[in-house]
Amino acid sequence: MQTQKYSIQQPLIESLLSWVKEGEIAIPEIQRPFVWDKSKVRDLMDSIYRGYPVGYIITWKNPTIRLKNGNLGEGKKILIDGQQRITALRAALMDEYVVDQDYARIKIKIAFHPLEERFEVQTPIIQKDKLWLPDISVFFGSGFSLIKLNKEYTAANPGADPEVVERSLGQLANLAKRQIGVIELNADLDIETVTEIFIRINSKGVVLSQADFAMSKIASNETHGGPLLRKAIDYFCHLCKEPQYYDHWRVPRRTSIRRHRRFAPTLRAHGSRAAIRRCSSVGDFVPVSAFVAPWLTTR
């Protein structure tokens, strides 16, 4: 008889975000980049505000899984599903940057209309409209005063019903106090099983393309250096999108790559002696790891 392979918890959203910020929940190699558009972030905020279900976050406690920064996840809970939602929450509530599929660092600002209790993606028109609060992240920053904001809003909008404003602002301020479901997979599951769970779940959400499937499978193959190969592919795609990024790693003429400040430590750690000997001048062969590993430290 098959036993249940998970348990369910109901932490507060603010607790979940704190765990991610402190590194207690980490992102593994099988996860994808942020693929949501801004309207989906808006809809997520609206669903939480109205008390609608927003799906479960799935984690897995395993000390040997490879993380996106190349380290092992010892003592951490690994995020298996829910990266898009957590990233959206951090962007909207904590004013953090998001790296999109084109490798651009962007911010997603969500606005709120207290009288209509409506969310929208921030636009220049909304920023100029006094009926809108242009950025809900101010509610969750240090030093925020709900009483002060309430007074400022009613003063700027004399026709607004103070009770409606107070109620909607109070409900928005408590957004991070809402619960969110977290499923924790059993620690004894292997990486192949967890990868299969990830693929099955994501086939029901944002469509998991053949490329996503392949990248997830590559990343889960530790025997043949899957995590490093995935990073090499990701880095190559980055250069295709932004070829000017190559200038950051260009080695000056007549400079030995073996002695270059950026590549030397990595070559010693990852490259074979034969490969290092071939890295004597510009244009010579360099192991993929020499390019990928230093790039990881800048992400």
Kindly report, residue by residue over 106-144, the tens digit of the pLDDT.
999 999 999 999 999 999 999 999 999 999 999 998 889
Indicate the number of domains in the chain.
2
User: Are residues 275 and 154 both part of a single domain?
Assistant: no
Statement to judge: residues 144 and 266 lie in one domain: no
Between CA 148 and CA 212 the distance in angstroms is: 47
Q: Which of 225, 240, 275 is the last residue of a domain?
A: 225
Phi/psi for 158 (5° steps) reads: -60, -30
Dist. CA 278–CA 275, nearest whole Å = 5
d(CA 70, CA 22): 17
Q: Is the residue at 236 inside a domain?
A: no
Structure confidence at residue 45 as a pLDDT band (50, 70, 90): very high
My answer on whether 268 and 204 are in the same domain is no
> Does residue 208 share a domain with residue 83?
yes
**Enclosing domain of residue 17:** 1-225
Does 295 score more than 80 pLDDT?
Answer: no
Cα pseudo-dihedral 285, 287, 288, 290, rounded to 10: -110
Same domain, 215 and 263: no
Highest mean pLDDT among 82-86, 97-101, 132-136, 252-256: 132-136
Q: What's the pTM? A: 0.68
Looking at the fold, whether 188 and 277 belong to one and the same domain comes out as no
Has residue 244 been placed in a domain? Answer: no
Residues 19 and 92 in one domain: yes
Residue 237 lies in a domain: no
* Distance (Å, whole) CA 155 – CA 144: 18
For 209-268, how does the pLDDT look when each residue is reduced to its tens digit (9 = 90+)?
A: 445 545 555 655 666 666 667 667 766 776 776 666 555 555 555 555 445 555 555 445
